[in-house]
Chain A
Amino acid sequence: MPIFKTPFNGYSVKFSPFYEDRLAVATAQNFGILGNGRLHVLSLPPSPAAPISEIASFDTADGVYDLAWSESHDSLLVAAVADGSVKLYDTALPAAGNPLRSLREHTREVQSVDYNPTRRDSFLSAAWDDTVKLWTVDRPASVRTFKEHAYCVYSAAWNPRHADVFASASGDCTVRVWDVREPGSTMIIPAHEFEILSLDWNKYDDCVVIATGSVDKSIRIWDVRNYRVPVAVLNGHGYAVRKVRFSPHRGSLMASCSYDMTVCLWDYMVEDSLVGRYDHHTEFAVGVDMSVLVEGLVASTGWDELVYVWQHGTDPRAP
């Protein structure tokens, strides 16, 4: 399957929810420690043999750590930038016209953004300033700031079903579940003994299951209706788990990537939960996504400056 080489170190990859052949990649220079960033919008070829083509790319003055496709406009992207800004891009416009907006409120690096899939004009940003912010596309300032975490917030994700509910994962070793109608968080899950870098909601069964990936190398699955103990603990990564993503197509399937340079697929319902392990990256694997429109299509990126797109079960490196 095709490969795309990015000039900078990959940080995040996301499939478009509108076009099955489109995806975007967030990258940062010098491993995101210092330097510029670039956002790539890519188009998959009709046949696997052809190369991936770049539709657009946007430069930023600091690394881009994450991106999210709009759920309402096929060409709209939100980017999490290391300088603390959240930027909106219209990929249909030339680079000169972008970003549409640069929202500067976070005082530290923004590590993740997530677009609300049900209330499709709002999105979240999670940042190292310990806060999560809620934005809408038509407002100049954030609608609300959620400040309860005691350390960097690495990830925030909307519940796929309940438009007002989201969860955040933090370096303070907790996951918090929030309802934007409430003044504070409604649930605190001390999910790991170590920093939690990522979380995602299961898209099935009333959307009450959360997966968390931690520096402790494990992935844990939680049911918010009974969160005292994890539903499952998935061990197998050799270093911190950087990102977890539930499959949009199968309720118990999920993908993860890790600083151990591998991408893993899991079925948390079964005993031998590790379904597949891909070690195609030669540096930390930090971005993984599963296509909503094409079942089984997986994309990953890493600090080896490569973006892989492949069908689950095939070799990402196969030509």
Chain B
Amino acid sequence: MAMRDLVTGAANCDPSASSNPFGALANALVGSSSKTQERLKEIPTTTPAAGSQFFAQPEDRLRAIPGSESDHSLLPANAQGSEFLRRFHAAEHGGFADAWDEIQQASVPSVPHDLRVGMNPQIQPTLDGPPQRVLSGVLHSFVDSSRGGLPFRPAQLPLLGLSEGDKQCIRDRSTIMARHFFADKSEDFVNEQVNALLHSLDIDSDVRGKGPLPGRFRELEDYWNESQGMMKPGPHVGDAWAVEFNPHRGEHSGPDAWVNSFEQQHGANGWASEFEQQYSQLATVDQMGGVNVPNLAAMEQTRMLAHTLAQNEDPKFQNSKFLQFVSKMSRGELIIDDNQVKPAPGDWASEFQQQYTAGPSWADEYLHRRPDQWANEFAAERETNGALDDQWVNEFSKLHVNDWADEFGQQVAEGSLGDNTADDWANAYNEFWNEQKQQSDGSRGVYVFSDMNPYVGHPNPLKEGLDLFRKGLLSEAILALEAEVLKNPDNAEGWRLLGIAHAENDDDQQAIAAMMRAQEADPTNLEVLLSLGVSHTNELEQAAALRYLHGWLRHHPKYGTLASPDMPESLYQADVARLFTDAAQMSPEDADVHIVLGVLYNLSREYDRAIASFQTALKLKPNDYSLWNKLGATQANSVQSADAILAYQKALDLKPNYVRAWANMGISYANQGMYEDSIRYYVRALSMNPKADNAWQYLRISLSSASRHDMLNACDSRNLDILQKEFPL
């Protein structure tokens, strides 16, 4: 003890300083080694007894600091609150301590808790843990890339796996900071900006923890002003305080007097609690309102806003790395994946979620997917598929199936089957169908006709179908066109239009089936070949897609010479793409070539090139809505969901009843985590085409993700009335 006193110069020995005086001595002499000791002690303890030891250490250190400027001796450390305060009272600022004492007593229950919190072993997270290092590297390379003009590729990020805490940090901090940057804009505007930014980061909806971030409220100010007004009649609190604050403050207006007058005016808890109550009500409102997600207009505003800052006339702003960072985030160019089950990365090029339990191609697809996601999706689909298949078969049994009737007729009986009645062989067919299904992708290429077609018997169903198609009434158009091909099964144009109608109605199975019939009728029809190429790309059937796209080139009057006359055994994407690049050089003004190139690059997942190709094509065909849709889908695939939504919107402006674009829009919102919005778009798409099975599945996933389990029944029973009512667009 004496030695320690000598070393530290303390007037009296603090009994709680250390259990080992030599440890304290060592501590005072060589700080570093004893620090290790302290840290070890620090870790396991939550008991108050150990606490006193902990507190003694720093104090020792402070006393030992050479040249310490301490002009009043530090109070001896003691974990006992009362002991501390007793000593504290002896110190100069009596009033200060008294007040604290009171407060401490008043809040006794919370003290042990606080103490424990304070005593918690210090958490030392890994400073260079892989996630942070990767994120940091990506963020900085991304920021740097904006200077060199190199395209930023956020490829590494999906592997990142940010923790919930990280996501919350990004969410909360960018929210609060954005409010500071975008103060010029209205509150709504800022909120929309923030929402868009966060959704594009894929963060918001799955991060839960501290509840909604309190916002700034106009209403709050009203409440505030009201409260202020209520206070005005009496002597204002602040005035009283100001008087007291006067340097000549006398003893007579001590704190007690002030407290009394305060309580007289406001009651014990006074204004603060009133304020808090009102505030919490507001917060509740906000929580409910916060579910509202920005609409399309907001997305556009977001982009404009991000540009507003970048377009500040000050060149410094244009070079600001941070502003580039923010604006890139808001454009969705920075994506953080959260390993959540989501709809496929959106879009016509990846709508691989087939209804049927697929055969060999399944394995190929699997390789392209991130396994975990796929597995989850697959599991989810399996559940629904079982039911769907049954349903489908039942439905099928009621249908009037021309070609099947022909085929089936050879197997079962002859002549006895009428053109339009299939009831009597339905059961037998069921068995056959099930066998087929087990063998492989049985439904492939089989066109399924609608029941109860009012256009059968129409004098000119082709013209009627075309008119309906142009009006955007796709489901009606499909019926009319079915009537046409029932009437003239060899009409390639009828089948082709039917295929296009199905493709736009978001039904690639039917589209392919119709297009195959069209190709049968007219094997060299270029539009048919192109459509088949696109539809097979959608279904991720690369070999088939390449075959048709190559066929397109081979049969093209202009580019036919580029392709070898014989169909090669196996086609490679790169070879085909090269042929089309040559074709594009031959006639750069041919939008179709650029479209095919865009499709091909989608097959090879070179989305930047695909986007460029489609954009070139759009310059030539700015009013091709399906082209806008392709562009949007490609952008969605390359994780530019915000841009994709703009492209889809363009398509929908051109063709409001474009079911596929509605559904794609939903997928893009879902990919940004805006599940509520995605639901609205799916429902809209389904209200136009209730048979779009993919969209039903996406809807189900979005409902689950949005925790709208109450609506799952409506989804499973395909009750559009309920869904439309619940999710109006």
Chain A 166-202 interface mask (CB, 8 Å, partner B; 1/0): 0000011110010111111111111000110100000
Among B74, B99, B279, which residue has its beta carbon within 8 angstroms of that of A181? Answer: B99
Total residue contacts A-B, CB cutoff 8 A:
245
Contact (A93, B32) CB under 8 Å given A61-B124, A194-B183:
yes
Q: Chain B residues with Cβ under 8 A from A163's Cβ?
A: 93, 96
A74 touching B84 by the CB < 8 A rule? no
B320 touching A282 by the CB < 8 A rule? yes
Report the Cα distance A142→B243, complex, angstroms.
Answer: 30
Q: Chain B residues with Cβ under 8 A from A194's Cβ?
A: 183
Q: Chain A residues with Cβ under 8 A from B220's Cβ?
A: 150, 172
B142 to chain A, nearest CB (A): 11
Q: Chain B residues with Cβ under 8 A from A240's Cβ?
A: 180-181, 183
Choose the segment among A39-47, A99-107, A264-272, A291-299 that binds chain B (4+ C-beta atoms closer than 8 Å): A99-107
B212 to chain A, nearest CB (A): 12
A150 touching B279 by the CB < 8 A rule? yes
B214 touching A140 by the CB < 8 A rule? no
Report the Cα distance A152→B172, complex, angstroms.
Answer: 11
A301 to chain B, nearest CB (A): 14
B75 touching A73 by the CB < 8 A rule? no
Within 8 A of A (CB), among B55-77: 55, 57-59, 61-62, 65, 67-72, 74-75, 77
Report the Cα distance A279→B174, complex, angstroms.
Answer: 25
B74 touching A137 by the CB < 8 A rule? yes
Among B31, B111, B181, B272, which residue has its beta carbon within 8 angstroms of that of A141? Answer: B111
Among A59, A92, A150, which residue has its beta carbon within 8 angstroms of that of B127? Answer: A59
A121 within 8 A of B: yes
Choose the segment among B255-263, B685-693, B698-706 that binds chain A (4+ C-beta atoms closer than 8 Å): B255-263
Report the Cα distance A180→B67, complex, angstroms.
Answer: 32
Q: Chain A residues with Cβ under 8 A from B135's Cβ?
A: 30, 34-35
B502 within 8 A of A: no
B470 within 8 A of A: no
A172 to chain B, nearest CB (A): 7
A279 touching B122 by the CB < 8 A rule? no
A227 touching B67 by the CB < 8 A rule? no
Choose the segment among B1-9, B112-120, B623-631 that binds chain A (4+ C-beta atoms closer than 8 Å): B112-120
B51 touching A140 by the CB < 8 A rule? yes
Within 8 A of B (CB), among A214-253: 215-217, 224-227, 238-240, 242
Q: Chain B residues with Cβ under 8 A from A104's Cβ?
A: 117-118, 120
Q: Chain A residues with Cβ under 8 A from B321's Cβ?
A: 283, 303
Chain B residue nearest to A223 (CB atoms) is B242
Interface residues of chain B: helix, strand, loop or mixed (majority): helix
A96 within 8 A of B: yes
Chain A 136-172 interface mask (CB, 8 Å, partner B; 1/0): 0111111110001011100000000011110000011
B216 within 8 A of A: yes
Chain B residue nearest to A189 (CB atoms) is B238
Q: Chain A residues with Cβ under 8 A from B117's Cβ?
A: 104-105, 141
A238 to chain B, nearest CB (A): 8
B715 within 8 A of A: no
Report the Cα distance A128→B179, complex, angstroms.
Answer: 14
Chain B residue nearest to A74 (CB atoms) is B69
A100 touching B61 by the CB < 8 A rule? yes
Chain B 3-20 interface mask (CB, 8 Å, partner A; 1/0): 000000000000000000
B183 touching A164 by the CB < 8 A rule? no
Among B68, B258, B279, B319, which residue has its beta carbon within 8 angstroms of that of A73? Answer: B68
B31 touching A180 by the CB < 8 A rule? no
A208 within 8 A of B: yes
B241 within 8 A of A: yes
B100 touching A90 by the CB < 8 A rule? no
B118 touching A195 by the CB < 8 A rule? no
Contact (A144, B103) CB under 8 Å given A195-B180, A240-B180, A283-B320:
yes
Chain B residue nearest to A33 (CB atoms) is B173
Interface residues of chain A: helix, strand, loop or mixed (majority): loop
Chain A 69-108 interface mask (CB, 8 Å, partner B; 1/0): 0001111100000100000101011101101111111011
A92 to chain B, nearest CB (A): 6
Among B242, B259, B317, which residue has its beta carbon within 8 angstroms of that of A183? Answer: B259
Contact (A35, B132) CB under 8 Å given A90-B61, A138-B84, A240-B181:
yes
B393 within 8 A of A: no
A303 touching B31 by the CB < 8 A rule? no
Report the Cα distance A288→B320, complex, angstroms.
Answer: 20
B127 to chain A, nearest CB (A): 5
B221 within 8 A of A: yes
Q: Chain A residues with Cβ under 8 A from B180's Cβ?
A: 195, 197, 215, 240, 242, 259
Q: Chain A residues with Cβ under 8 A from B136's Cβ?
A: 29-30, 35
B93 touching A148 by the CB < 8 A rule? no
Report the Cα distance A74→B70, complex, angstroms.
Answer: 9
Q: Chain B residues with Cβ under 8 A from A32's Cβ?
A: 173, 177
Q: Chain B residues with Cβ under 8 A from A102's Cβ?
A: 122
Contact (A141, B115) CB under 8 Å given A61-B123, A61-B127, A73-B62:
yes
Q: Chain B residues with Cβ under 8 A from A88's Cβ?
A: 58
Q: Chain B residues with Cβ under 8 A from A35's Cβ?
A: 132, 135-136
B32 touching A97 by the CB < 8 A rule? yes
Q: Chain A residues with Cβ under 8 A from B571's Cβ?
A: none
Report the Cα distance A107→B174, complex, angstroms.
Answer: 17
Contact (A90, B115) CB under 8 Å given A151-B214, A184-B262:
no
Among A141, A187, A215, which residue has its beta carbon within 8 angstroms of that of B238? Answer: A187
Among B75, B276, B319, B322, which residue has its beta carbon within 8 angstroms of that of A138? Answer: B75
A173 touching B216 by the CB < 8 A rule? yes
B567 within 8 A of A: no
Chain A residue nearest to B31 (CB atoms) is A93
Q: Chain B residues with Cβ under 8 A from A137's Cβ?
A: 58, 62, 74
A138 touching B74 by the CB < 8 A rule? yes
Chain A interface residues (CB < 8 Å from chain B) = 18, 29-36, 59, 61-62, 72-76, 82, 88, 90, 92-94, 96-97, 99-105, 107-109, 119-121, 128, 130, 137-144, 148, 150-152, 162-165, 171-174, 177, 179-190, 194-195, 197, 206, 208, 215-217, 224-227, 238-240, 242, 259-261, 279, 282-284, 303
Known: A162-B245, A182-B99. 20 other contacts (CB 8 A): A30-B135, A34-B166, A73-B65, A82-B173, A92-B65, A93-B32, A94-B32, A99-B122, A138-B75, A140-B115, A150-B276, A181-B96, A183-B262, A184-B262, A206-B247, A224-B245, A225-B245, A225-B246, A226-B242, A227-B242
Nearest 9 Cβ contacts at the A-B interface: A97-B35, A181-B99, A141-B114, A215-B183, A140-B118, A186-B241, A61-B125, A187-B238, A102-B122
Q: Can you show 20 pairs from A to B with CB atoms below 8 A apart? A: A31-B177, A33-B170, A34-B170, A61-B123, A75-B65, A100-B58, A105-B117, A144-B103, A151-B215, A164-B95, A177-B241, A182-B99, A182-B262, A184-B272, A188-B238, A224-B242, A239-B181, A260-B314, A261-B320, A283-B322
